[in-house]
């Protein structure tokens, strides 16, 4: 089987009064990530990586930020569509390797739960998901 590798990247500004969602989890933090959907940068980056691996476009192609249907949407919806595209193209995930770049909140205390959530969303083993965090 041919091997494909996708690369995804995302960034959102922090905004007061918005819930913080990263990696499919709600995190305690005074600010959330501003975005048209729930602003989950990690799920957005993974979605783009999966779509890119099979040359299916990007998250904005499928879920335009100006479309009111996606206002405050759960980013798991985006990830699910990317999985469908991947499977339709005849591929499967071998592993996911991610890096979050942020000063706060600390990711280490929730990384195991985040890995489990992403593994569940992608229907893969937790040992196939890596989440690292770095400070800018």
Domain coordinates in residue numbering, the chain:
14-134
* pTM for the model: 0.95
Q: Quick one: three-class SS letters along 86-118?
A: HHHCCCCCCCEEEEEECCCCCCHHHHHHHHHHH
Beta-strand pair 14-16/20-22: unpaired
Mean of all residue pLDDT scores within the chain: 94
CATH (residue range 14-134): 3.30.1330.50
pLDDT above 90: residue 69: no
Q: What is the pLDDT of residue 65?
A: 82
pLDDT, tens digit (0-9, with 9 covering 90-100), for 99-117: 999 999 999 999 999 999 9
If residue 83 lies in a helix (H) or strand (E), which one and from where to where? helix 76-88
* Residue 61: closest CA among 40, 87, 39, 85: 85
């Amino acid at each position: 089987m041919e091997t494909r590798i996708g690369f995804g990247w995302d960034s959102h500004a922090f905004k007061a009064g918005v819930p913080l969602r990263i990696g499919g989890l709600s995190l305690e933090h005074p600010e959330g990530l501003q975005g048209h959907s729930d602003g989950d940068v990690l799920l957005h980056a993974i979605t783009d990586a999966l779509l890119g691996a099979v040359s299916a476009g990007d998250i904005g192609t499928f879920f335009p930020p100006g479309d009111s249907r996606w206002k405050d949407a759960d980013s798991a919806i985006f990830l699910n569509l990317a999985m469908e595209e991947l499977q339709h193209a005849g591929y499967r995930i071998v592993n996911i390797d991610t890096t979050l770049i942020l000063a706060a909140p600390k990711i280490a205390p929730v990384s195991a739960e985040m890995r489990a959530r992403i593994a569940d969303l992608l229907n893969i083993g937790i040992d196939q998901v890596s989440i690292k965090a770095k400070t800018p």
